[in-house]
Protein backbone atom coordinates (compact mmCIF):
# COMPACT_ATOMS: atom_id res chain seq x y z
CA UNK A 1 0.00 0.00 0.00
CA UNK A 2 1.03 3.59 -0.65
CA UNK A 3 0.16 5.54 2.49
CA UNK A 4 -0.54 9.24 1.92
CA UNK A 5 -2.76 10.04 4.88
CA UNK A 6 -0.19 11.21 7.44
CA UNK A 7 -2.37 14.17 8.41
CA UNK A 8 -4.83 11.63 9.82
CA UNK A 9 -2.17 9.60 11.62
CA UNK A 10 1.45 8.85 10.90
CA UNK A 11 3.29 5.58 11.58
CA UNK A 12 4.71 5.23 15.09
CA UNK A 13 8.44 5.92 15.19
CA UNK A 14 10.69 2.95 16.09
CA UNK A 15 12.30 5.07 18.82
CA UNK A 16 8.87 5.72 20.31
CA UNK A 17 8.02 2.01 20.32
CA UNK A 18 11.29 1.30 22.11
CA UNK A 19 10.77 4.08 24.67
CA UNK A 20 7.15 3.16 25.37
CA UNK A 21 8.06 -0.53 25.75
CA UNK A 22 10.84 0.27 28.20
CA UNK A 23 8.62 2.55 30.28
CA UNK A 24 5.79 0.01 30.21
CA UNK A 25 8.08 -2.64 31.67
CA UNK A 26 8.40 -0.66 34.91
CA UNK A 27 5.86 -0.36 37.71
CA UNK A 28 4.77 2.74 39.54
CA UNK A 29 2.02 5.35 39.76
CA UNK A 30 3.49 8.81 39.27
CA UNK A 31 1.37 10.08 42.16
CA UNK A 32 2.66 7.50 44.65
CA UNK A 33 5.29 8.47 47.23
CA UNK A 34 7.27 5.21 47.37
CA UNK A 35 10.38 4.50 45.31
CA UNK A 36 8.52 3.07 42.29
CA UNK A 37 6.15 6.03 42.29
CA UNK A 38 9.02 8.50 42.49
CA UNK A 39 10.75 6.75 39.59
CA UNK A 40 7.58 7.01 37.50
CA UNK A 41 7.26 10.69 38.44
CA UNK A 42 10.85 11.28 37.39
CA UNK A 43 10.20 9.74 33.95
CA UNK A 44 7.04 11.81 33.60
CA UNK A 45 8.73 15.08 34.53
CA UNK A 46 11.66 14.39 32.23
CA UNK A 47 9.16 13.92 29.39
CA UNK A 48 7.43 17.17 30.37
CA UNK A 49 10.74 19.05 30.45
CA UNK A 50 11.73 17.66 27.05
CA UNK A 51 8.44 18.70 25.41
CA UNK A 52 8.65 22.14 26.99
CA UNK A 53 12.20 22.68 25.73
CA UNK A 54 11.30 21.56 22.21
CA UNK A 55 8.17 23.74 21.95
CA UNK A 56 9.41 26.89 23.68
CA UNK A 57 7.38 26.48 26.86
CA UNK A 58 8.03 26.14 30.58
CA UNK A 59 7.62 22.64 32.01
CA UNK A 60 4.80 23.88 34.26
CA UNK A 61 2.91 24.95 31.12
CA UNK A 62 2.72 21.39 29.70
CA UNK A 63 -0.50 19.59 30.66
CA UNK A 64 -0.72 16.00 29.44
CA UNK A 65 -4.01 14.92 27.84
CA UNK A 66 -5.38 12.03 25.79
CA UNK A 67 -4.84 13.89 22.50
CA UNK A 68 -5.79 16.88 20.39
CA UNK A 69 -9.54 16.51 20.89
CA UNK A 70 -9.29 16.60 24.67
CA UNK A 71 -6.80 19.46 24.52
CA UNK A 72 -9.18 21.51 22.36
CA UNK A 73 -12.15 20.70 24.59
CA UNK A 74 -10.20 21.59 27.73
CA UNK A 75 -8.96 24.86 26.27
CA UNK A 76 -12.31 26.13 25.02
CA UNK A 77 -14.52 24.92 27.85
CA UNK A 78 -12.03 25.41 30.66
CA UNK A 79 -10.90 28.91 29.72
CA UNK A 80 -14.41 30.07 28.86
CA UNK A 81 -15.87 28.93 32.19
CA UNK A 82 -13.01 30.44 34.17
CA UNK A 83 -13.41 33.74 32.35
CA UNK A 84 -17.17 33.80 32.88
CA UNK A 85 -16.78 33.03 36.54
CA UNK A 86 -14.53 36.06 36.90
CA UNK A 87 -16.73 38.26 34.68
CA UNK A 88 -20.25 37.03 33.72
CA UNK A 89 -20.26 39.39 30.73
CA UNK A 90 -17.64 37.21 29.00
CA UNK A 91 -20.03 35.04 27.04
CA UNK A 92 -18.73 35.26 23.44
CA UNK A 93 -16.32 32.86 21.76
CA UNK A 94 -14.80 33.79 18.39
CA UNK A 95 -13.85 30.98 16.00
CA UNK A 96 -13.56 30.54 12.22
CA UNK A 97 -15.72 27.90 10.55
CA UNK A 98 -12.61 26.18 9.14
CA UNK A 99 -11.64 24.75 12.55
CA UNK A 100 -11.38 21.05 13.30
CA UNK A 101 -14.59 19.59 14.70
CA UNK A 102 -12.88 19.19 18.08
CA UNK A 103 -13.12 22.98 18.30
CA UNK A 104 -16.32 23.56 16.32
CA UNK A 105 -18.40 20.95 18.11
CA UNK A 106 -17.13 22.10 21.49
CA UNK A 107 -18.04 25.68 20.68
CA UNK A 108 -21.50 24.68 19.46
CA UNK A 109 -22.03 22.56 22.58
CA UNK A 110 -21.15 25.55 24.74
CA UNK A 111 -23.61 27.66 22.78
CA UNK A 112 -26.37 25.09 23.27
CA UNK A 113 -25.71 24.24 26.93
CA UNK A 114 -23.84 27.16 28.50
CA UNK A 115 -25.54 30.11 26.85
CA UNK A 116 -22.42 31.04 24.89
CA UNK A 117 -22.71 33.33 21.89
CA UNK A 118 -20.57 32.26 18.94
CA UNK A 119 -18.94 34.79 16.68
CA UNK A 120 -17.88 33.28 13.35
CA UNK A 121 -14.67 34.74 11.96
CA UNK A 122 -14.66 35.03 8.18
CA UNK A 123 -11.80 33.50 6.19
CA UNK A 124 -10.42 34.42 2.78
CA UNK A 125 -10.34 32.20 -0.31
CA UNK A 126 -7.32 30.36 1.10
CA UNK A 127 -9.05 29.64 4.41
CA UNK A 128 -7.04 32.21 6.39
CA UNK A 129 -8.19 34.50 9.20
CA UNK A 130 -6.82 38.05 8.94
CA UNK A 131 -5.95 40.30 11.86
CA UNK A 132 -8.34 43.04 10.78
CA UNK A 133 -11.17 40.49 10.64
CA UNK A 134 -10.48 39.46 14.24
CA UNK A 135 -10.17 43.07 15.37
CA UNK A 136 -13.53 43.95 13.82
CA UNK A 137 -15.21 40.95 15.46
CA UNK A 138 -13.81 41.87 18.87
CA UNK A 139 -14.81 45.51 18.48
CA UNK A 140 -18.47 44.54 18.10
CA UNK A 141 -18.58 43.80 21.84
CA UNK A 142 -15.06 43.78 23.34
CA UNK A 143 -16.22 43.36 26.95
CA UNK A 144 -18.19 40.23 26.08
CA UNK A 145 -15.49 38.18 24.33
CA UNK A 146 -14.15 35.40 26.56
CA UNK A 147 -11.87 33.58 24.16
CA UNK A 148 -10.59 33.39 20.59
CA UNK A 149 -9.60 30.06 19.01
CA UNK A 150 -7.87 29.93 15.60
CA UNK A 151 -5.97 26.87 14.36
CA UNK A 152 -2.30 27.33 13.47
CA UNK A 153 -2.59 25.34 10.24
CA UNK A 154 -5.68 23.86 8.64
CA UNK A 155 -5.80 20.08 8.67
CA UNK A 156 -7.55 19.81 5.27
CA UNK A 157 -6.19 22.49 2.93
CA UNK A 158 -2.92 23.19 4.76
CA UNK A 159 -3.24 26.99 4.97
CA UNK A 160 -1.26 28.57 7.82
CA UNK A 161 -2.76 31.35 9.96
CA UNK A 162 -0.82 34.39 11.26
CA UNK A 163 -1.15 33.20 14.86
CA UNK A 164 1.35 35.65 16.37
CA UNK A 165 -0.47 38.62 14.81
CA UNK A 166 -3.88 37.28 15.86
CA UNK A 167 -2.65 36.79 19.43
CA UNK A 168 -1.46 40.40 19.48
CA UNK A 169 -4.87 41.64 18.39
CA UNK A 170 -6.63 39.57 21.07
CA UNK A 171 -4.20 40.56 23.82
CA UNK A 172 -4.64 44.25 23.04
CA UNK A 173 -8.18 43.76 24.36
CA UNK A 174 -7.18 41.49 27.22
CA UNK A 175 -8.57 38.36 25.52
CA UNK A 176 -6.78 34.97 25.53
CA UNK A 177 -6.16 33.10 22.28
CA UNK A 178 -6.03 29.32 21.88
CA UNK A 179 -4.59 27.64 18.82
CA UNK A 180 -4.98 24.07 17.64
CA UNK A 181 -1.41 23.31 16.54
CA UNK A 182 -1.98 19.61 15.90
CA UNK A 183 -0.89 19.87 12.26
CA UNK A 184 1.71 22.58 12.82
CA UNK A 185 4.09 20.84 15.22
CA UNK A 186 6.78 19.08 13.21
CA UNK A 187 6.02 20.89 9.96
CA UNK A 188 6.28 24.52 11.07
CA UNK A 189 8.53 26.31 13.58
CA UNK A 190 6.41 26.26 16.76
CA UNK A 191 7.58 28.31 19.73
CA UNK A 192 4.91 28.71 22.41
CA UNK A 193 6.50 31.67 24.19
CA UNK A 194 7.59 33.50 21.04
CA UNK A 195 4.23 33.31 19.26
CA UNK A 196 2.46 34.60 22.36
CA UNK A 197 -0.66 32.43 22.44
CA UNK A 198 -2.24 31.49 25.76
CA UNK A 199 -3.02 27.83 25.02
CA UNK A 200 -1.85 25.41 22.32
CA UNK A 201 -3.04 21.88 21.49
CA UNK A 202 -0.72 19.02 20.51
CA UNK A 203 -1.58 15.47 19.40
CA UNK A 204 0.88 12.58 19.58
CA UNK A 205 -0.30 10.36 16.73
CA UNK A 206 0.31 13.11 14.18
CA UNK A 207 4.00 13.09 15.14
CA UNK A 208 4.86 9.41 15.38
CA UNK A 209 3.77 8.83 18.98
CA UNK A 210 1.06 6.37 19.95
CA UNK A 211 -2.62 7.28 19.76
CA UNK A 212 -4.30 8.44 22.94
CA UNK A 213 -1.74 10.97 24.14
CA UNK A 214 -1.31 14.70 23.63
CA UNK A 215 -0.77 17.91 25.52
CA UNK A 216 -2.25 21.31 26.13
CA UNK A 217 0.34 24.02 26.58
CA UNK A 218 -1.24 26.72 28.74
CA UNK A 219 0.39 29.70 30.42
CA UNK A 220 0.36 29.96 34.19
CA UNK A 221 -1.53 33.25 33.87
CA UNK A 222 -4.42 31.65 31.98
CA UNK A 223 -7.20 30.39 34.28
CA UNK A 224 -8.68 27.02 33.27
CA UNK A 225 -11.64 25.26 34.86
CA UNK A 226 -11.07 21.48 34.79
CA UNK A 227 -13.32 19.08 32.93
CA UNK A 228 -12.18 16.10 35.03
CA UNK A 229 -12.11 15.97 38.81
CA UNK A 230 -10.33 13.55 41.10
CA UNK A 231 -6.70 13.46 42.13
CA UNK A 232 -5.84 17.01 41.11
CA UNK A 233 -3.01 16.01 38.76
CA UNK A 234 -1.60 18.40 36.14
CA UNK A 235 -1.97 21.62 38.15
CA UNK A 236 -5.52 20.56 39.02
CA UNK A 237 -6.48 21.17 35.39
CA UNK A 238 -6.63 17.54 34.30
CA UNK A 239 -7.15 14.91 37.00
CA UNK A 240 -6.41 11.25 36.40
CA UNK A 241 -3.55 8.80 36.72
CA UNK A 242 -0.92 9.80 34.19
CA UNK A 243 -0.02 7.41 31.37
CA UNK A 244 3.73 7.61 31.88
CA UNK A 245 4.77 5.36 28.95
CA UNK A 246 2.61 7.37 26.54
CA UNK A 247 4.01 10.65 27.86
CA UNK A 248 7.55 9.32 27.43
CA UNK A 249 6.70 8.31 23.87
CA UNK A 250 5.18 11.72 23.16
CA UNK A 251 8.37 13.42 24.31
CA UNK A 252 10.45 11.24 21.97
CA UNK A 253 8.11 12.00 19.03
CA UNK A 254 8.05 15.75 19.68
CA UNK A 255 11.83 15.88 19.97
CA UNK A 256 12.27 13.96 16.71
CA UNK A 257 9.71 16.17 14.94
CA UNK A 258 11.36 19.39 16.08
CA UNK A 259 14.95 18.25 15.47
CA UNK A 260 14.15 16.93 12.00
CA UNK A 261 11.66 19.65 11.07
CA UNK A 262 13.67 21.79 8.66
CA UNK A 263 15.17 18.89 6.71
CA UNK A 264 11.96 16.89 6.73
CA UNK A 265 9.79 19.87 5.73
CA UNK A 266 11.98 20.53 2.69
CA UNK A 267 11.73 16.88 1.66
CA UNK A 268 7.95 16.81 2.15
CA UNK A 269 7.46 20.02 0.20
CA UNK A 270 9.47 18.59 -2.70
CA UNK A 271 7.31 15.44 -2.74
CA UNK A 272 4.14 17.52 -2.50
CA UNK A 273 5.16 19.79 -5.38
CA UNK A 274 6.14 16.81 -7.53
CA UNK A 275 2.75 15.21 -6.89
CA UNK A 276 0.77 18.38 -7.62
CA UNK A 277 2.67 19.22 -10.80
CA UNK A 278 2.49 15.61 -11.97
CA UNK A 279 -1.26 15.33 -11.45
CA UNK A 280 -1.93 18.68 -13.13
CA UNK A 281 0.21 17.66 -16.11
CA UNK A 282 -2.00 14.60 -16.53
CA UNK A 283 -5.25 16.37 -15.62
CA UNK A 284 -4.97 20.10 -16.39
CA UNK A 285 -8.36 20.99 -14.91
CA UNK A 286 -7.41 19.79 -11.41
CA UNK A 287 -7.09 22.69 -8.97
CA UNK A 288 -4.99 23.15 -5.83
CA UNK A 289 -6.91 24.34 -2.75
CA UNK A 290 -5.55 26.72 -0.14
CA UNK A 291 -2.54 28.98 0.00
CA UNK A 292 0.04 28.38 -2.76
CA UNK A 293 2.82 28.47 -0.16
CA UNK A 294 4.85 31.30 -1.62
CA UNK A 295 5.09 33.53 1.46
CA UNK A 296 6.27 33.32 5.08
CA UNK A 297 4.04 33.45 8.17
CA UNK A 298 5.40 33.33 11.73
CA UNK A 299 8.81 32.22 10.50
CA UNK A 300 7.54 29.36 8.35
CA UNK A 301 5.79 28.67 5.04
CA UNK A 302 2.25 29.89 4.51
CA UNK A 303 1.22 26.34 3.62
CA UNK A 304 1.94 23.03 5.33
CA UNK A 305 4.83 21.42 3.43
CA UNK A 306 3.36 17.93 3.58
CA UNK A 307 -0.19 18.64 2.43
CA UNK A 308 -1.69 18.64 -1.07
CA UNK A 309 -5.43 19.29 -1.29
CA UNK A 310 -6.75 18.93 -4.84
CA UNK A 311 -10.16 19.41 -6.44
CA UNK A 312 -11.18 17.10 -9.28
CA UNK A 313 -14.06 18.62 -11.30
CA UNK A 314 -16.82 16.20 -12.25
CA UNK A 315 -15.87 13.67 -9.55
CA UNK A 316 -17.17 12.62 -6.17
CA UNK A 317 -14.36 12.56 -3.62
CA UNK A 318 -15.65 9.40 -1.97
CA UNK A 319 -15.63 7.56 -5.30
CA UNK A 320 -12.08 8.72 -5.99
CA UNK A 321 -11.02 7.61 -2.53
CA UNK A 322 -12.36 4.09 -2.95
CA UNK A 323 -11.06 3.70 -6.50
CA UNK A 324 -7.58 4.77 -5.37
CA UNK A 325 -7.80 2.47 -2.36
CA UNK A 326 -8.51 -0.42 -4.72
CA UNK A 327 -5.29 0.49 -6.53
CA UNK A 328 -3.30 0.51 -3.29
CA UNK A 329 -3.30 4.29 -2.70
CA UNK A 330 -4.49 5.47 0.72
CA UNK A 331 -5.47 9.14 1.06
CA UNK A 332 -8.55 11.00 2.33
CA UNK A 333 -11.32 13.41 1.44
CA UNK A 334 -10.65 15.54 4.53
CA UNK A 335 -10.55 15.06 8.28
CA UNK A 336 -10.48 11.42 9.38
CA UNK A 337 -12.66 12.42 12.32
CA UNK A 338 -15.61 12.86 9.95
CA UNK A 339 -14.77 10.00 7.59
CA UNK A 340 -17.78 8.04 6.39
CA UNK A 341 -20.11 11.00 6.74
CA UNK A 342 -21.59 11.76 3.28
CA UNK A 343 -21.38 15.54 3.34
CA UNK A 344 -19.08 18.13 1.78
CA UNK A 345 -16.16 19.52 3.73
CA UNK A 346 -17.16 22.30 6.13
CA UNK A 347 -13.75 23.84 5.48
CA UNK A 348 -14.34 24.21 1.75
CA UNK A 349 -17.85 25.54 2.31
CA UNK A 350 -16.47 28.14 4.72
CA UNK A 351 -14.02 29.16 1.99
CA UNK A 352 -16.96 29.97 -0.28
CA UNK A 353 -17.14 26.86 -2.45
CA UNK A 354 -20.45 25.36 -3.49
CA UNK A 355 -21.35 21.84 -2.37
CA UNK A 356 -20.69 20.24 -5.75
CA UNK A 357 -17.16 21.63 -5.91
CA UNK A 358 -16.50 20.74 -2.30
CA UNK A 359 -17.49 17.10 -2.86
CA UNK A 360 -14.84 16.52 -5.53
CA UNK A 361 -11.74 16.96 -3.38
CA UNK A 362 -8.93 14.74 -2.08
CA UNK A 363 -6.19 15.34 0.46
CA UNK A 364 -2.80 13.71 -0.01
CA UNK A 365 -0.56 14.17 3.03
CA UNK A 366 3.08 13.15 3.37
CA UNK A 367 5.09 12.16 6.44
CA UNK A 368 8.32 10.68 7.74
CA UNK A 369 7.94 7.41 5.79
CA UNK A 370 7.03 9.04 2.45
CA UNK A 371 9.24 8.62 -0.60
CA UNK A 372 9.39 9.51 -4.32
CA UNK A 373 7.98 6.05 -4.99
CA UNK A 374 4.73 7.12 -3.33
CA UNK A 375 4.40 9.98 -5.81
CA UNK A 376 5.08 7.68 -8.77
CA UNK A 377 2.48 5.22 -7.51
CA UNK A 378 -0.20 7.92 -7.54
CA UNK A 379 0.79 9.29 -10.92
CA UNK A 380 0.65 5.79 -12.42
CA UNK A 381 -3.04 5.39 -11.61
CA UNK A 382 -4.63 8.82 -11.11
CA UNK A 383 -5.70 9.51 -14.72
CA UNK A 384 -7.70 6.27 -15.28
CA UNK A 385 -9.13 6.53 -11.75
CA UNK A 386 -10.40 10.05 -12.39
CA UNK A 387 -11.79 9.03 -15.79
CA UNK A 388 -13.73 6.20 -14.17
CA UNK A 389 -14.97 8.43 -11.33
CA UNK A 390 -16.19 11.04 -13.80
CA UNK A 391 -18.01 8.43 -15.84
CA UNK A 392 -19.71 7.12 -12.71
CA UNK A 393 -20.72 10.63 -11.63
CA UNK A 394 -22.12 11.39 -15.10
CA UNK A 395 -24.10 8.16 -15.18
CA UNK A 396 -25.46 8.91 -11.73
CA UNK A 397 -26.61 12.40 -12.73
CA UNK A 398 -28.37 11.01 -15.79
CA UNK A 399 -30.29 8.51 -13.67
CA UNK A 400 -31.43 11.31 -11.38
- What stretches of the chain show up as alpha helix (H) in DSSP? 14-24, 35-55, 68-73, 79-86, 101-113, 131-139, 163-171, 192-195, 244-259, 261-282, 317-326, 346-350, 355-359, 372-399
Residue 277 CA to residue 284 CA, distance in Å, equals 10
C-alpha distance from residue 376 to each of 253, 307, 309, 366, 379 (Å): 28, 17, 17, 13, 5
Residue in 71, 68, 74 with CA at minimum distance from that of residue 203: 68
Indicate if the alpha-carbon torsion angle 262, 204, 80, 126 is positive or negative.
positive
On whether the CB atoms of residues 62 and 186 are closer than 8 A, the answer is: no
Instruction: Determine which helix (DSSP H) or strand (DSSP E) holds 146, and give its type and residue range.
Output: strand 145-149
Catalytic residues: 337
Identify any residues that bridge with 384 across adjacent strands, giving them in sequence order: none
Residue in 178, 120, 123, 116 with CA at minimum distance from that of residue 147: 178
Which letter does DSSP use for residue 179 in this model?
E
- Nearest-5° Cα angle at 236, 64 to 250: 5
Residue 379 CA to residue 64 CA, distance in Å, equals 41
Residue 127 CA to residue 175 CA, distance in Å, equals 23
On whether the CB atoms of residues 58 and 222 are closer than 8 A, the answer is: no
Residue 94 CA to residue 89 CA, distance in Å, equals 15
> What's the first-to-final CA gap in the chain, in angstroms?
35
Amino acid sequence: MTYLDHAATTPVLPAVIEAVAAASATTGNASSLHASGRAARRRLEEARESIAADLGARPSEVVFTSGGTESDNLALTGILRARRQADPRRRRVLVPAIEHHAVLDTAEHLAARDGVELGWLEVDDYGRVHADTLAAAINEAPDEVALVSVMWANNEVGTVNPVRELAGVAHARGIPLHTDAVQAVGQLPVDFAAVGVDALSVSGHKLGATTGVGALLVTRQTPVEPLLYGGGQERGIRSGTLDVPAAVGLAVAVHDAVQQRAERAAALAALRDELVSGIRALLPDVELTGDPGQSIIDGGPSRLPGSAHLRFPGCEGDALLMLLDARGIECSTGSACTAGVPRPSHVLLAMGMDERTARGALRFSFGHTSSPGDVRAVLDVIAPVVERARAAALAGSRRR
